[in-house]
Amino acid sequence: MNNPSATTFQVSNETTSSMASVPFDSSVRSARTIAETGIPAKAISSSAISAALDLEALKRTIQTLVGPQIVETERQIAKAITSQFSEVQHLSNQAGALAGKRLRPILVWLSAQACECYTSDAELDAELAKIAASVELVHMASLVHDDVMDQADTRRHQTTVYRLSGTNAAVLLGDFLFTRAYAVAASCKGTHPARRIARAATDLCEGELRQQLSASNWNLSSREYFGILNQKTASLCSVSCQLGAWRSGSSLAHQRLLAKFGRYLGLAFQIFDDWLDYWGDESVGKTLGTDLAQLKPTLPLLHYLNTASTSERQRFLAKLQSQKSEDLRWATETIRSSDAGDATMIVARRFAQKAIALIDSLPDSEARSLLKGLALFSVSRAS
């Protein structure tokens, strides 16, 4: 018998007034239509993703379309984190070595090129490179701080700055990267990029704080949960898309549409990240299992707790609160063997599908196709 106090999670987005209800029980695994979305769960199944997404082809096409622009973005990043002091430069190099997918810079460039008005020229591309570098520096800073909070040993198959240089150095390096991000944004023409990136960075920090303060809150509401994700991950993806469209001279309507696309993609990406923390393997390239160890109420855990019987829930929470390694292993396996993985994936795929459907109104272009490919990638990647 399910927990009588189990709640129904509301899959919401703060940028819209609509809200769809997704009960977290065994029915979420069926090929039914997710309430009020008009999108069948089966519409974006694993087989559909595999058929739709050739990851290597996606990488090659992105490289062809925006490869030189990403190279210029990398140059801007390297320039921004250069220090005259060798010890600071050493730490900057450590952070630079952890460079990942560069998702946010790619979103900036593709969003710019997805608009009919985009015409490449040196001045425009220089401004877009600064915007792309700034949002990526904010992201890099947040990852350095994340590794401190998670006490993570590895990221992207490499030892973290936290593990190599200690807590104090990692915290200060993250601060340094934040200041460099704002310096790059401030060097853009006009104040709009700096103001928007600063707002997104504020959202990110507030979201991280809210998540830290929600530890052990097993009654976290759906609005609070998705609000945290909306701030900590989706805000930076959203501003990347919006500023790319804005700098290319796109209409306000297209800017808003792409900002919402980035928000949905960011939500899908983060929910899938929460799934990877339980069901990922060594190919993920970072320390796994940190969410449960730190008592973070992410979607897999909340789903399990909201569908377990009263006795199962009480036993689980008692094991979790003990913080003994054997009890944490038991809790992890309990979640892994439940239907929480399927439920989490359906919610992640729903946001990816909403992102894809949203940009159908944009002019048909290679950039638009690649944005759709990135939405699929967000819920099918290995890391």
pLDDT tens digits, residue range 225-238? 999 999 999 999 99
pLDDT at position 290, please? 86
pLDDT at position 32, please? 26
pLDDT tens digits, residue range 337-360? 999 999 999 999 999 999 999 999
The answer to whether residue 269 sits within a structural domain is: yes
The answer to whether residue 10 sits within a structural domain is: no
- Dihedral of alpha carbons 290, 293, 299, 303, sign: positive
The answer to whether residue 23 sits within a structural domain is: no
The answer to whether residue 77 sits within a structural domain is: yes
- Over residues 273-292, mean pLDDT: 84
Total domain count, the chain: 1
Residue 24 has pLDDT above 70, yes or no: no
Q: Pairing mode, if any, of strands 154-155 and 9-12?
A: unpaired
The answer to whether residue 16 sits within a structural domain is: no
| 153 φ/ψ angles, rounded to the nearest 5 degrees | -85, -35
Inter-residue contact 104 to 349 (CB < 8 Å): no
Written as one string, the DSSP assignment of 117-181 is T----HHHHHHHHHHHHHHHHHHHHHHHHHHHHHT-SEETTEE-HHHHH-HHHHHHHHHHHHHHH
Structural domain including 270 reads 41-377
pLDDT tens digits, residue range 33-61? 222 333 344 444 444 454 456 778 888 99
The per-residue pLDDT of the chain, averaged, comes to: 86
Q: Distance between CA 316 and CA 308 in Å, rounded?
A: 9
Closest CA to 277 of 376, 344, 210: 344
Q: Using the structure block, give the residue that is written with the tokens 């940028």.
A: 15
- pTM here is 0.86
Q: Which two tokens stand for residue 25?
A: 């029980």
CA distances from 190 to 69, 110, 185 (A): 21, 22, 10
pLDDT at position 55, please? 73
CA distances from 59 to 56, 225, 239 (A): 5, 32, 23
pLDDT at position 38, please? 37
Query: Which carries the bigger pLDDT value, residue 19 or residue 243?
Result: 243
Q: Which two tokens stand for residue 245?
A: 């469209």
The answer to whether residue 133 sits within a structural domain is: yes
The answer to whether residue 30 sits within a structural domain is: no
Residue 15 has pLDDT above 60, yes or no: no
Task: Give the confidence band of 27 by pLDDT, cuts at 50, 70, 90.
Answer: very low
Q: What is the CATH number of the domain that holds 362?
A: 1.10.600.10
Name the strand (E) or helix (H) holding 21.
strand 19-22
The answer to whether residue 356 sits within a structural domain is: yes
Residue 202 has pLDDT above 80, yes or no: yes
